[in-house]
Structure 1
Amino acid sequence: MKIIKNLIKIFLLLFVAGFLFIVFANYSIKKESDPFISYAISEIPKVKTAVVLGTNKSLSNGKPNPYFKYRIDAAAELYRSGKIQTIIVSGDNSVKGYNEPEQMKLDLIVNGIPAEKIYEDFAGFRTLDSVVRAKEIFGQNKVIFISQKFHNERAVFLAKNHGIEAFGYNAKDVNKYAGLKTNLREYLAKAKAYLDIWFHVEPKFGGEKILIP
């Protein structure tokens, strides 16, 4: 019985410690990234390249994914404003028939972005991969990330911890009820971002460098 009580105590201590770490990670990342992200184009500096963080164009039920649409809209707005010259679309292409970068590129072209101004990163499996590869593969030391606010917070945090001067242009967010699952998952993702920094986690793939003139 004593062993069981001790195990319960250890479990409760670990649970409380884990909960406090998640709270700390989320508060810290939000606070650190807040000065560098904005919904207003006027507050975004002029930078050569922006990175659109990937997501699927369609939801699992086949309906259009609003996260995807709003990121494409934001990227097109930023390009037309003259704040950026080129765009990296970074996402998952690990499964045959599933190609986030290609989906994003095609929709950006429909929105008037010249194809030659769009560069595809097919190994952006995680936000960490997209961030680090922007520097290591595409040679960009100063970038603007385009995604929803909660996502940009994490991307900017990761970028600054990898020596990248980073900013975030926030795409329109999704209704809080429709995006409830994503927002809850983000709490764990921010905690994982801290662990990735502490344990020096690297992107899944490297590859040849791609020159952006």
Structure 2
Amino acid sequence: MKRKYLYLLIGSIILPTLLILLCNLVIEIAARGRTYSEISEIKKNKVGLVLGTSKKLTDGSPNPYYTFRIHATVQLYEAGKIKFVLVSGDNGSIYYNEPTAFKNDLVALGIPEESIFLDYAGFRTLDSMVRAKEVFGLSEVTVISQEFHNERAIYIAQKKGLYAVGFNARDIKGSQGFKVQFREYFARVKVFLDLLLNTQPKFYGEKIEIK
């Protein structure tokens, strides 16, 4: 009976935990040396790809992840590290439009409207990275998000034939940050499931040249 409970423990807790940790480690190693927090250290790239998120939290307060990605994008542009911005996010309904929200705030902070391109079908990080290559014709890109998100995006890009580096927007501490980081462990497992199943973006569409 004790052996039965031991096998149950291994199968239901230990093995899944090891799998989660392994997926996390593989992605961390793949992105090592390819994420940057200092403007002076990152190379120039034609396009900065900012990964979308909601502007407001569910309680109506500002989303700091959004705010910090906006600031990081402006930093890169003003430093001449990127020439164009590609905003990739969810535009799932007339009431929710991540790319347009980003664009409006980036323009308000001084980035010319003609330097900003919008990907309205970036429903997931996988979609954003694949579409950057297949729809927008990019061979390399600077991803702009928090470090944990950049690492996952870089790994996906690598597997899809797109060379990516990441510029790390400021991260969030405390309980809010912990919740997001905790979910990230499971998002990284989903990366490997998507690769195994050859999951494709929800939409492709006509090619758009950034120039």
Aligned length: 210
**1:112, CA displacement in angstroms?**
0.4
Q: Distance in 2 between matches of 1:104 and 1:80?
A: 17
Which amino acid is 2:30 matched to?
A: E
Unaligned runs of 5+ in 1: none
Question: Please, what TM-score do these two structures have when normalized by structure 2?
Answer: 0.94
Once the two structures are superposed, residues 102-146 of structure 1 have per-residue CA deviations (whole angstroms, 9 ceiling, x without a partner) of 000001001100000000000000000001100001000100000
**Counterpart residue number, 2:186:** 188
Question: Please, what TM-score do these two structures have when normalized by structure 1?
Answer: 0.94
Query: 1:47 and 2:38 equivalent?
Result: no
Which amino acid is 1:212 matched to?
A: I
Q: Distance in 1 between matches of 2:136 and 2:194?
A: 21
Q: Distance in 2 between matches of 1:7 and 1:121?
A: 50
Q: Distance in 2 between matches of 1:209 and 1:156?
A: 22
Q: Distance in 1 between matches of 2:13 and 2:155?
A: 25
> Which residue of 105, 108, 133 maps to 1:107?
105
Q: Distance in 2 between matches of 1:14 and 1:137?
A: 41
Q: Distance in 2 between matches of 1:89 and 1:7?
A: 50
Q: What is the 5 A alignment of 1:156-167?
A: 156-167=154-165
**Counterpart residue number, 1:132:** 130
Q: Distance in 1 between matches of 2:171 and 2:68?
A: 8
Query: 1:33 and 2:31 equivalent?
Result: yes
Once the two structures are superposed, residues 5-58 of structure 1 have per-residue CA deviations (whole angstroms, 9 ceiling, x without a partner) of 969945741542221111001111112102100101122111100100000000
**1:189, CA displacement in angstroms?**
0.5
Q: Distance in 2 between matches of 1:94 and 1:180?
A: 27
Q: Distance in 2 between matches of 1:8 and 1:210?
A: 56
Query: Percent of aligned pairs with the same residue?
Result: 46
Helix, strand or coil for the counterpart of 1:179? helix
Unaligned runs of 5+ in 2: none
> Which residue of 81, 84, 90 maps to 1:83?
81
Which amino acid is 1:129 matched to?
A: D
Which aligned segments of 4 or more residues in structure 1 are displaced greater than 6 angstroms? 5-8
**1:78, CA displacement in angstroms?**
0.1
Q: Distance in 2 between matches of 1:205 and 1:7?
A: 46
Q: CA RMSD in A?
A: 1.6
**1:198, CA displacement in angstroms?**
2.3
Helix, strand or coil for the counterpart of 2:174? coil
Q: Distance in 2 between matches of 1:52 and 1:131?
A: 11
Q: What is the 5 A alignment of 1:135-146?
A: 135-146=133-144
Helix, strand or coil for the counterpart of 1:73? helix
Q: Distance in 1 between matches of 2:60 and 2:94?
A: 18
**Counterpart residue number, 2:54:** 56
Query: 1:98 and 2:96 equivalent?
Result: yes
